[in-house]
Each structure stands twice: as C-alpha cells, then as structure tokens.
Structure 1
Amino acid sequence: ARDGLPWDPSVYATTVLEQVNSRSVSALRLISFFKQVPEFNEINVQDRITLIKYNLMPLTMLNYTLSYNTETDQVKEAEVDAPWNASILSP
C-alpha cells in the first residue's frame, strides 16, 4: 500500500502545508490499500467515497493505537523508522 509514496515525506517538507500533508501518509496508505481490493473498485464512486469518509478516522486511530510504544512515548508504524511528531499539534 506504499506504492508512489516517499519513505518519509516530512523530510522533504519545507512549508507548513507540506508538513501537515506529510502527516497524512497513513491515510494515503489506507486509501491505496482500499484501491487494491478488487471488490472496492467494483462499487460506484459515491459508495467508495462514503466508505472512506466514514471509516478513515476510526481506522487511522486504530493504526496509531496499535503503533504506540509506551516505552518511548512515540507512535511508529511497523515498516517506518520515522516516528510521529506530536509537536505539530501544539500551538
């Protein structure tokens, strides 16, 4: 589900918008995964949008929960060395 996505897009982020977009990688990977499911591609576009719209956030939260390391207090995806940087959420 990583096809076409850089390893860690935050490395290439130079603006605030690019930094925010780099944090949507897990969502983009999930959408890429959905597209690889043959049955997903057989339903109409509106139904695909609805499925993604109402399931993306819960699945993203589940992903972060399962990827959270209590010892280091970081979220790390299994195949990614770059930890989630929670500081981008603080003002």
Structure 2
Amino acid sequence: MPCCPGRVTVLALPESRHSFPSGHSAFAMLIMTMFWPLLKIRDRFLLAVMALWVGLSRINVGAHFFPDVLAGYVCGIAGGLLATKAVMNWLR
C-alpha cells in the first residue's frame, strides 16, 4: 500500500520510459534563446516566464523530473546559440 494515498493523481500512462531530457523544455529554451536579442525588456520577461512555465508544467503533470527539465534547458540554450551562430555566418 502506498504511503500517501490520494496525494498523486496519474493523468495518463507513460508513452515511453525515456524522458531525459525534456523535449518540451528544450524547445521552449531554444525559442527563448533565438528571440532574446530581438525583443524588448517586457517581451523578454514574458518569454522567460513562458520557458519557466513549460518546465514547471512538465514536472507538475509528472512527465519529467527536475533534472530532465534542466537538461532540456541546457540543450535548448546550446542549440539556440549554435543555430544563431550558423545563421550569422551564413548571412555574411
């Protein structure tokens, strides 16, 4: 018998056992990294809230743990920086 019945509600069965890193968090951070230099302060704040919200929502629904989301953020930042560099080199 579980230690705390009623504390956790399963929303859906897992589609896969492979959840590292979080693709949703990686994509949110990729979008943030790509658009960050182009936006004003208010829009940057909204973009940061969106990326944070995506990561927290993945943890909240039980799809990922914190390290999954953190690794997704790191992958998103790395991908965004690499893509920005590639586009800037291509435009030259």
| More RCO (CA 8 Å, sep 6+) | 2
TM more than 0.5: no
Q: Normalized per residue, which structure has more strand?
A: 1
Relative to the length of structure 1, the TM-score reads 0.34
